[in-house]
Each structure stands twice: as structure tokens, then as C-alpha cells.
Structure 1
Amino acid sequence: MTRPDPERDRTTAHKARLVAFVLAGTMLLWMGAQFVGGQMGWDPRYVFLFDFAAIAAFFWALVVTYQIWRSRQG
């Protein structure tokens, strides 16, 4: 069995926290943009910009989560 590496654990925890904040923040901002856009009658193409930004943030979070998972395997 290998010895625990506190620096690696700290880095992994930091990445996991960052992913959690990005996921929660993205969801809140996206829902807020949808609500405000509907109330103010924004053109759908502007609301789609928020959709694409949310998709990009979710994809980034997926990639970083995969990196965390892979680093824990080795």
C-alpha cells in the first residue's frame, strides 16, 4: 500500500471544490438568465448565449472531474 500524499490530496480537494462551485454557480446563473430573459422579453438568440455558456461550463466541470477521477486511479 502506498503512503498518503497530503499535497496531492489537498490539490484534489481544491479541484473538487472548484468544480462544485462552478456547477452550482452555473446552474444559478443559467436559471436566473432564463427567468430574467423571459420577464424582459429578450430575443431568443441572446438567451441561447447563456445556454451555450452553461454548456461550456458543464463540459469544463466534466473534464476536470474526469481528471480528478484519473488522478485517484494511479
Structure 2
Amino acid sequence: MSDGTDPDKILARQARLVSIVIAATMVGWMAAQWIGGRLGLPDRYVFLVDLFALAGFLWALFVTWQIWRKRRDN
């Protein structure tokens, strides 16, 4: 199974994607908060950025839970 269909490799690829999404979401959220403070953006835009960050973290949590379930079943 050297064509990338090995279940462990697939799970490892998903875990790497989750880690990238978590890191990018955190950095993006912090940058948006800083930029929003510097520009004096209204609170509704800051709240919108918070919702996007929350969506990224919830997606990462869901995919991590799926990875955990798949590893537990194997």
C-alpha cells in the first residue's frame, strides 16, 4: 500500500492538517485583533473575526475527534 492509502498515513495527514489549521487560526485571530485595535474597527467586525476563529477551532476539534475514533477502532 505505497499509494497513500495506508490508514495510518491518512490519519497522520489529517492530524497535520488539523495542526496547521489550529496554528493558522490562532495567528490569524491574534493578527486580526491587533489590526482591528490599531484601526479602531467597530465591535461587530471584531465579533465577526471571533466567530471565524471559533469556526476554525470547532472544525479542528471535530476532525481531531474523528481521528481519535478511527485510531481507537483500529
TM-score, normalized by length of structure 2?
A: 0.91
**Can you give the 5+ residue segments of structure 2 that lack an aligned partner in the other structure?**
none
Of all paired residues, the percent bearing the same amino acid is: 52
Equivalent residue number for residue 46 of structure 2 = 47
Q: Which runs of 4+ in 1 moved over 3 A?
A: none
Moved more, 6-15 or 64-73: 6-15
State how many pairs are aligned. Answer: 69
CA distance in 2, matches of 1:26, 1:73: 27
**Can you give the 5+ residue segments of structure 1 that lack an aligned partner in the other structure?**
1-5
- RMSD (Å) for aligned C-alpha atoms: 0.9
CA distance in 2, matches of 1:65, 1:36: 30
CA distance in 1, matches of 2:59, 2:41: 27
CA distance in 2, matches of 1:18, 1:51: 21
